[in-house]
Amino acid sequence: MTEQDLPSLLLVDDDEVFAGVLARALGKRGYAVSIAHNVEEGLALAEQNAPEYAVVDLKMPGPSGLTLVKALKELDEETRIVMLTGYSSIATAVEAIKLGAVHYLAKPTDADAVIAAFAREEGDEHVAVADNPMSVDRLEWEHIQKVLAENEGNISATARALKMHRRTLQRKLSKRPVRE
């Protein structure tokens, strides 16, 4: 089987080491992997050759991965996209799925989990429902992510909407989300 016979996969992640490791692992599992490190590079590669599969990081310098998910679906409705993120939130997960991603995975993850996510066609009604409510810190993180998504990633507009100083918002966004 030649490289051209393998299913094409676009991997877009600003973490070059993680992207390299995941690309090698996906290549060993039978994908022809192209790597980009931001939305613009990813879109340029996709416009040359629309991928059958895509793995897109949410938080990168410049536009978010949500922008790329939308653009990839506009290029080819059949592209199966998995959103990866170290900054998971309910708001961004919902937006990723609405924009066309088939699944949303929190980092760290591995190639097997990505491939399994590509294959998922339906939701899982057996997912455990948490017994305890979210912490106040986690609720704040979720609310910030929701308002940020509503403002299309614009930090200044989000800060105004939250009645928060822009630097305070940037400081909160630079931290990892609070674990539940």
For 28-77, write each residue's pLDDT tens digit: 999 999 999 999 999 999 999 999 999 999 988 888 899 999 999 999 99
Helix (H, G, I), strand (E, B) or coil at 58: coil
Instruction: Establish if 128 belongs to a structural domain.
Output: no
149 is in which domain, residue-wise? 136-174
Domain count, the chain: 2
Sign, Cα dihedral of 91, 92, 96, 97: negative
Helix (H, G, I), strand (E, B) or coil at 22: helix
Between the alpha carbon of residue 29 and those of residues 24, 42, 130, the distances in Å are: 9, 21, 34
For residue 58, the domain's CATH number is 3.40.50.2300
Least confident range from 76-90, 117-131, 145-159: namely: 117-131
For residue 145, the domain's CATH number is 1.10.10.60
Instruction: Establish if 180 belongs to a structural domain.
Output: no
In this structure, the answer to whether residues 112 and 150 fall within a common structural domain is no
Instruction: Establish if 162 belongs to a structural domain.
Output: yes
In this structure, the answer to whether residues 107 and 143 fall within a common structural domain is no
Instruction: Establish if 97 belongs to a structural domain.
Output: yes
In this structure, the answer to whether residues 24 and 68 fall within a common structural domain is yes
In this structure, the answer to whether residues 162 and 101 fall within a common structural domain is no
In the sheet that holds 101-106, the strands lie side by side as: 32-36, 8-12, 53-57, 80-85, 101-106
Percentage of residues in the chain with pLDDT exceeding 90? 53
* pTM exceeds 0.85 for this model: no
In this structure, the answer to whether residues 74 and 160 fall within a common structural domain is no
Average pLDDT, the chain: 87
CB 26 within 8 A of CB 33: yes
> What are the phi and psi torsion angles at 56 (to 5°)?
-125, 125
pLDDT for 128 beyond 90: no
In this structure, the answer to whether residues 102 and 70 fall within a common structural domain is yes
Bond preceding residue 133 cis, omega within 30 of 0: no
In this structure, the answer to whether residues 65 and 101 fall within a common structural domain is yes
In this structure, the answer to whether residues 146 and 68 fall within a common structural domain is no
Instruction: Establish if 43 belongs to a structural domain.
Output: yes
Instruction: Establish if 18 belongs to a structural domain.
Output: yes
Q: Which pLDDT belongs to residue 22?
A: 94
Task: Tell me what percent of the chain is helix, strand and coil, each rounded to the nearest 5.
Answer: 50, 15, 35
Please state the length of the chain: 180
Instruction: Establish if 15 belongs to a structural domain.
Output: yes
